A and B are shown apart, each in its own frame.
Chain A
């Protein structure tokens, strides 16, 4: 009986994991294809298409753009998210519940709506489509996330720590720099890496808000329009690899770290 249940549980786990990872595994496998079509039979392994990706200046430029947009927009989102979370946690603000709701609201709005809204706004104020515009869009979608994560971690214990620091003569700026930020570092880094992940994968907003210089997901989409080659598999695998790195960083910071 126990053995049967264990077997069923294992089978279930294999099916679930297969369902989740089979597409990615296929993608990675056929990125190593030696011939021109990413379809069976497998003719590799070969790094031919990775070479093609890395010598394609459009793709490498897009990759650099993506990293730039992801890191800078995440940095801005984390700083703004932290400061607003700190403000809400420490001060009695008028209509605090409503304001908190408004800050977190973009989490529930689809990226398409946010992208369209920003497109119309930027058009009206005469701001051209650019990486900067896409980065601002990513701040809009990631700030609520950073705010929510950091706000949830700002508890009464940190309040006493800050009081203790003030009591010992620290100015507000030093309380923030020497106590609050270091104590909140896990939540701050976690929200930064989560923002990076979301920005790195984001397509719709970047598609709507960039034109000549663009991010990697948009460039991949351009590539797909000219048909499937193992090159798209190779670039997809690279994107996946970066996401894995970010997810691991997040896991290490947020999940592995338990309060002492």
Chain B
């Protein structure tokens, strides 16, 4: 295991009486893609601002590449940021924008132009050097912002909900490009989003945040398959969630931890009785939503009306609201959540 590039140790950030981040510790490996995932107000953007140097944490330390950066201004850190609204300078050409960081580092004009053109080519925009930002589409501006941040060769690139302003199709396309770009340039990317699909598609390391704390952290497949907490299970995908008392009412289930719950991912929940499955009682189907490749089914338990089953049925399954079904799942697919 290589030494971490970024180390965040016990960082807290208060705004007046509100603690936006409390006692967060996180390591980021060089050349990795880290996604900070959480709902608004979870502290993910605050943590990114602390990494970028726009905020000095109330307590704790941030080291990047072995250098204590806790209170170093943004200009003197090996980080650059891609802002949510791109923050392209409207009075400069695209080339002027991309070359800005080099200009601040005293790079000569001709060299600046060459490097800026190279960076633009890297993000797939070789022909926009002399245009103005307002002449570009949203997706193109996004790429220019990326080129501008990457041209100064940061050790860490910070991305603040970079795909938030793009339409869905473009967003999925940019996701793939971001991942490929990150592999190509080799810098560590730290990406903030509230979109779990984006997180799963991009992350080497997924950090789920809630109420200013890290709820869960790890590779996205692990976070999805074995979430560390109820919040993490609920935010990374959906699931049927059975708290302690609900689980106790269903025979065949192992006891749930007293403060925790048992969760089942929808793709693991069957709706008819089969050998080898744990039976979870009878349930009445409430909604069936056609999703293209499958049907999303919700059903309410007859024994425990506060228990909502979420399952995936085949796209061609004959199932309708009002039907009685027999939910069940394999013992291995039960996710035991201790909190």
Give A residues with C-beta under 8 Å from B.
157, 160-161, 163-171, 174, 179, 182-183, 185, 260
Contact = CB atoms under 8 A, between A and B. Distances in A.
B105 interface: yes
A260 B75 contact: no
Interface stretch (B63-71, B82-90, B180-188, B319-327): B82-90
A91 to B, nearest CB: 15
A182 B83 CA distance: 20
A166 B73 contact: yes
Interface in B68-103: 73-75, 79-81, 83, 85, 87, 89-91, 100-101
B91 A163 contact: no
B87 A160 contact: yes
A166 B74 CA distance: 6
B52 A183 contact: no
Given A160-B87, A161-B87, A168 B152 contact: yes
Identify the 7 closest CB pairs spanning chains A and B, nearest first: A169-B104, A168-B101, A164-B87, A260-B134, A160-B87, A167-B74, A182-B91
Given A160-B83, A163-B54, A260-B134, A169 B105 contact: yes
Contacts of A165: 89, 100, 104
Contacts of B105: 169
Nearest to B151: A168
Nearest to A182: B91
Contacts of A170: 75, 100, 104
B117 interface: no
B148 interface: yes
A185 B91 CA distance: 10
Contacts of B100: 165, 168, 170
Contacts of A179: 89
Given A182-B91, A183-B91, A260-B134, A169 B101 contact: yes
A167 B75 CA distance: 5
Given A160-B85, A163-B54, A260-B134, A169 B90 contact: no
Nearest to B54: A163
23 contacts: A160-B85, A163-B54, A163-B81, A163-B83, A164-B81, A164-B89, A165-B89, A166-B74, A167-B74, A167-B75, A167-B79, A167-B81, A167-B149, A168-B100, A168-B101, A168-B148, A168-B149, A169-B101, A170-B75, A170-B104, A179-B89, A182-B91, A183-B91
A168 B80 contact: yes
